[in-house]
Structure 1
Amino acid sequence: MIDQARLGSYLQDHYAASAAGIELFRRAADQQSDPSTRSALSVMAEKVETEQATLGHYLAAIGTKPDPVKNAGAWMAEKLGRFKPNGELIRRSPLSDVLELEALRVAVEAKAASWRVLRSLSGEVDRFDAGELDGLLADADQQLKELEELRMQAAARVFRQQSG
């Protein structure tokens, strides 16, 4: 038997984290120095927003809704994460391109972990659609692959450019 309260709290945590992830995707899509990276991240941001809505449906399926306190905390944590100099005080550091892509990879890894948990419970929770969750996992795997390619391209640009 599924502990609905614990599962609800778990899903609320992931929903709140997804809100912070969406903010990070949007910011990275706006501020990455490479135009093709900005474009790819804009597409991913839209996908992540759709996935958050799907997560909201899973919350509703177990009779829970997003927790505004958790959402506010995650939102604030994402905003506070912006206040790090990365070697520059006045302008955006080129290092931010790499660090943002790494943070996005971590966020997508966490999202995939939650989809795997829900998939493992799909046989016990009627409204958890195994096929849909398999698709969400496949999407997360593709996002991870694309983010890794973008991250390595950014690292090559940032760490191999001439100083001065």
Structure 2
Amino acid sequence: MSNRPGSETRHPGQSRGDGSAFLGIYLNDHLAGATAGTDRARHLVRSCEGSPLAATLGPIAAEIAEDRASLIRIMRRLGIPVRHYKVYAGRAAERVGRLKSNGRLVRRSPLSTLWELEALRLGVEGKAAGWEALRLVADTDERLDPRLLDELLERARRQQSTLERLRREQAGAVFQGA
């Protein structure tokens, strides 16, 4: 099946022009996730301030915020408006996620750090999938810069690798002797 403009092959129920609407929904959903991820990364860095973990996560948190800004610029270039209610929903979901009990009521639990690293790792995986999808669109849409998308995808993969290493280290520390 071809997804090129003018193709007669479409999914059932999809009419000509739906692709643009679907892309707008898709990118706004990714923006909600990017907002939650940016907030989560900043929160984790603050929570671990002064530790080697915070020193490693600080640059990643900054990149995650930059990636969110890149997504907004791409949306503007494509003429896709930001749906602010989705941004607010992403921010609210991240804050509600902080309320999860992790075995301690007053102090921060090491399990909280592990959970947050896992959430960030999964978020970056989703971000990479979004960049991959946009890279496919860039093959037929000259408003998108394939090189930029390749760079964003490579950065997401580096972030995934670092977050996975940190997640494993934290899991080992939390469950040591279990």
Q: Residues 84 and 131 (structure 1 numbering): CA distance in 2 closer, same or farther, change over 3 Å? A: same
Bigger Rg, which one: 2
Distance 2:162 2:61 in 1: 13
CA RMSD between the two structures: 1.6
1:38 and 2:74 matched = no
SS at match of 2:140: coil
1:76 matched to which residue of 2?
92
Distance 2:62 2:129 in 1: 20
1:94 and 2:92 matched = no
Equivalent residue for 1:134, pick from 106, 125, 150: 150
Distance 1:137 1:161 in 2: 38
2:11 matched to which residue of 1?
none
Shift of residue 129 of structure 1? 0.9
Report runs of 4+ in structure 1 exceeding 4 Å deviation: none
Distance 2:32 2:81 in 1: 11
Shift of residue 33 of structure 1? 7.5
Distance 1:110 1:33 in 2: 26
Q: In the alignment, residue 130 of structure 1 is paired with which amino acid?
A: P
2:8 matched to which residue of 1?
none
Question: Unpaired segments of 5 or more residues in structure 2?
Answer: 6-16
Shift of residue 45 of structure 1? 1.0
Shift of residue 34 of structure 1? 7.5
Equivalent residue for 1:125, pick from 133, 141, 158: 141
TM-score by length of 1: 0.93
Question: Unpaired segments of 5 or more residues in structure 1?
Answer: none
Give the total of aligned pairs.
Answer: 162
Distance 1:31 1:7 in 2: 35
1:160 matched to which residue of 2?
176
